[in-house]
Chain A
Amino acid sequence: MGDAVSMGLRRPAETRTPRWSRKAKSDNITGYLFLAPWVLGFLGFTVGPMLASGYLSLTKYSGFGSTKWIGFENYSKIFSDDLFYTALYNTIYYAFLGVPAQLLVALCLAVLLNMKVRYVNVFRTVYYIPTVTPAVANVFLWVWIFNLDFGLINSLLRLVGIAPVNWLWDPQIVKPALILMSLWSVGQQMVIFLAALQGVPEELLEAAAIDGANNFRRFLRITIPLISPVIFLNLIIGVINLFQTFTVAFIATKGGPINSSLFYVLYIYRKGFESFSMGYASGLAWILFMIILVITALQFYFSQRWVYYESGGAPTT
């Protein structure tokens, strides 16, 4: 782990202009040759498909035969589609409750793992295991854990005398249940927090302790501001990921009960690959893209108020 810490905390050296910068022309050629696969992939698998998706959203297309130009008809249909609003509501609910919950759990785990005790490395490994579990296996496992009569959680609840809960088949409870499930595998965010915590200078915390600040105060006033850039990073990534939740709803709940776990990407999948309305589905996808863009932009805007950069520079992501 010593290796990891040094890797994580060493700042990248400033980009120096190498001595051979005279060979500017050959640098341009070799530079783009090295970059060629990525540039081709960027154009062929990202920019191209994005434009294609924008075009398709203005057409009627079943995936077979030819496209038929219909202008903004898909969009006007989407905006009067009840299921669109259901899917959007479910997704926003899931993301706005799920992301803070995930970050809180990940941060608490990271704080635990940052304690200076022996064998903490072993725990670090153990805490990460759920995160490498294959998503499909994970979903089946949790369907089983959430089972009304024979599941793990209800068995535990029964031990302490609480009535069993119908986790996945109650429209009121299914979304919180899926959030609870997602809290089991927050290893990625946890490790990023851990690296940040290890970068908080010991001297600052000691100085505050001498001034009489207790643990909690030090954490709130020193640690949190210092790791705020990483909280911001996890927040951005978390929102983008949860807005695209698919596998769990596709396998475990199939969007139910009564569409209460119909998430946005599941709705795109159903429209595109089950009803073969690829134009309509592309319109849905573009609306999702715009929503994520706006939310991300808002987060960057508001980040100026609470994210603290030591160097005073702008965020690099």
Chain B
Amino acid sequence: MEREEKRIESISRQMGAYSLLFLGAVVSLMPLYWLVMTSLRPAGAEFTYPPEWIPSSFHPENYTVAWNRAPFWIFTFNSILVTFLATMGTIITASMAAYAFARIPFYGRNVWFALTLSTMMLPWAVTLIPRFLLFKYLSLLDSLWPLFLPFWFGGGAFYIFLIRQFIMTLPLEMEEAAVVDGASRLRIFLMITMPLTKPAVAAVGVFSFIHHWNDFMGPLIFTNQESTRTLALGLRYFGDEQFTEFRLVMAVATLMLVPVLVVFFAANKYFVSGVALTGLAGR
């Protein structure tokens, strides 16, 4: 009898758990449902009252109409180029710095590491204007260079920290054996450490991809011409119409979201584990 009661209690508990989880899922997805539904509405139907939960008719041609409003092919190409180059730079140079912090006992290592961590607390707004002036001085404004070049210099403290934490968890034995065999640091880094660090590097890659694909402030500050706009900036192309032709804006926003979701689902495992790894910071 008692066992039966326990079973019922556990079932009702699970029901409660699932209803809470479902509620959260509905709240998470509702805005995105609204996004996609709006993008499929007939022209002018954004402003029917009361709003329709399901469009009276579906209009996928909104997507081509929106796409032809501005040179979105150029924006997409720019976004892909910047995201790719910045992510490559981040992965390569952040791994190098992380390896040095984790494995090479050089003079001043702890000081540099503390400095690195402290930059995470630095408001980026402080360096914004001088960076703008720096790229102006280098005549690189209105090009894509300012959007990826800085990321070939370590990529950022957060990424270095994440990879370093991961390398610290790897056993030393293989590297020591390689030293006995006379391998150089560079060889050990490339042939032993990096292959083992793949999960952390993948997490950094996904973070960086999403950051650069979504970045708005960088392109806003550094690029001013149509030919150097990225998608995030191009979305503003609708000008004042952006607040009247919501279905078109929502169509481009949906298109912009697709690559992010693909990468997110493909690398979900690394993504969550990457954030979790940074949680170590507080321990």
B171 CB to nearest A CB, Å: 8
Q: Decide: A18 near B172, CB < 8 A? Known: A7-B276, A268-B128, A289-B126.
A: yes
Residues of A within 8 A of B179 (CB): 18-20
- Whether the pair A12, B221 counts as a contact (CB closer than 8 A) is no
When each residue 249-283 of chain B gets 1 if its CB lies under 8 Å from chain A and 0 otherwise, what string results?
11001101100110011001101110111111111
The segment from B1-9, B57-65, B66-74, B162-170 found at the interface with A is B162-170
C-alpha gap A159/B235 in the complex (Å): 32
Q: Decide: A233 near B279, CB < 8 A? Known: A37-B152, A272-B129.
A: yes
B97 within 8 A of A: yes
C-alpha gap A91/B47 in the complex (Å): 33
A317 within 8 A of B: yes
Q: Decide: A42 near B272, CB < 8 A? Known: A15-B168, A37-B97.
A: no
* A interface majority secondary structure: helix
C-alpha gap A28/B125 in the complex (Å): 34
A257 within 8 A of B: no
Q: What is the total number of residues of chain A having a CB less than 8 Å from a CB of chain B?
A: 112
C-alpha gap A159/B210 in the complex (Å): 37
Q: Decide: A247 near B216, CB < 8 A? Known: A18-B103, A134-B232.
A: yes
A163 within 8 A of B: no
A50 within 8 A of B: yes
- Whether the pair B276, A195 counts as a contact (CB closer than 8 A) is yes
A158 within 8 A of B: yes
C-alpha gap A266/B103 in the complex (Å): 42
Give the A-B contact count at a CB cut-off of 8 A.
324
B145 within 8 A of A: no
When each residue 264-281 of chain A gets 1 if its CB lies under 8 Å from chain B and 0 otherwise, what string results?
110010001100001001
A84 within 8 A of B: no
Which of B14, B152, B280 lies at the interface centre, i.e. has the most chain A CB atoms within 10 A of its CB?
B280
Residues of B within 8 A of A127 (CB): 24-25, 28
C-alpha gap A144/B254 in the complex (Å): 14
C-alpha gap A286/B94 in the complex (Å): 28
- Whether the pair A34, B130 counts as a contact (CB closer than 8 A) is no
Q: Which positions 26-57 of chain B face chain A at CB distance < 8 Å?
A: 27-32, 34-35, 38, 46-51
Q: Decide: A132 near B28, CB < 8 A? Known: A31-B109, A240-B123.
A: no
- Whether the pair A141, B31 counts as a contact (CB closer than 8 A) is yes
- Whether the pair A251, B236 counts as a contact (CB closer than 8 A) is yes
C-alpha gap A226/B22 in the complex (Å): 28
A130 CB to nearest B CB, Å: 6
**9 shortest A-B CB distances, which residue pairs?**
A41-B153, A31-B106, A38-B154, A8-B276, A12-B168, A4-B273, A49-B130, A137-B253, A195-B276
- Can you list 22 A-B pairs with a CB-CB distance of less than 8 A? A7-B169, A8-B279, A34-B185, A34-B189, A37-B153, A38-B94, A39-B154, A45-B150, A56-B130, A123-B24, A134-B216, A137-B256, A141-B35, A150-B47, A151-B51, A155-B50, A194-B276, A246-B217, A282-B130, A285-B125, A292-B123, A315-B282
Which of B24, B172, B176, B250 lies at the interface centre, i.e. has the most chain A CB atoms within 10 A of its CB?
B24
Q: Decide: A38 near B28, CB < 8 A? Known: A52-B133, A230-B282, A265-B125.
A: no
B140 within 8 A of A: no
When each residue 282-309 of chain A gets 1 if its CB lies under 8 Å from chain B and 0 otherwise, what string results?
1001101100100010000000000000
- Whether the pair A1, B97 counts as a contact (CB closer than 8 A) is no
Which of A4, A109, A244 lies at the interface centre, i.e. has the most chain B CB atoms within 10 A of its CB?
A4
A220 within 8 A of B: no
- Whether the pair A140, B242 counts as a contact (CB closer than 8 A) is yes
Residues of A within 8 A of B28 (CB): 126-127, 129-130, 184
B227 within 8 A of A: no
Q: Which positions 183-231 of chain B face chain A at CB distance < 8 Å?
A: 185-186, 189, 199, 210, 213-214, 216-217, 220-221
Residues of B within 8 A of A272 (CB): 128-129, 132
The segment from A70-78, A112-120, A170-178 found at the interface with B is A112-120
Q: Decide: A8 near B97, CB < 8 A? Known: A31-B104, A133-B257, A135-B214.
A: no
Q: Decide: A142 near B29, CB < 8 A? Known: A38-B154, A288-B125.
A: no
- Whether the pair B282, A150 counts as a contact (CB closer than 8 A) is no
A206 within 8 A of B: no
- Whether the pair B97, A192 counts as a contact (CB closer than 8 A) is no
- Whether the pair B133, A63 counts as a contact (CB closer than 8 A) is yes
Residues of A within 8 A of B216 (CB): 134-136, 247
C-alpha gap A276/B112 in the complex (Å): 36
Q: Decide: A42 near B154, CB < 8 A? Known: A132-B264, A158-B50, A288-B123.
A: yes
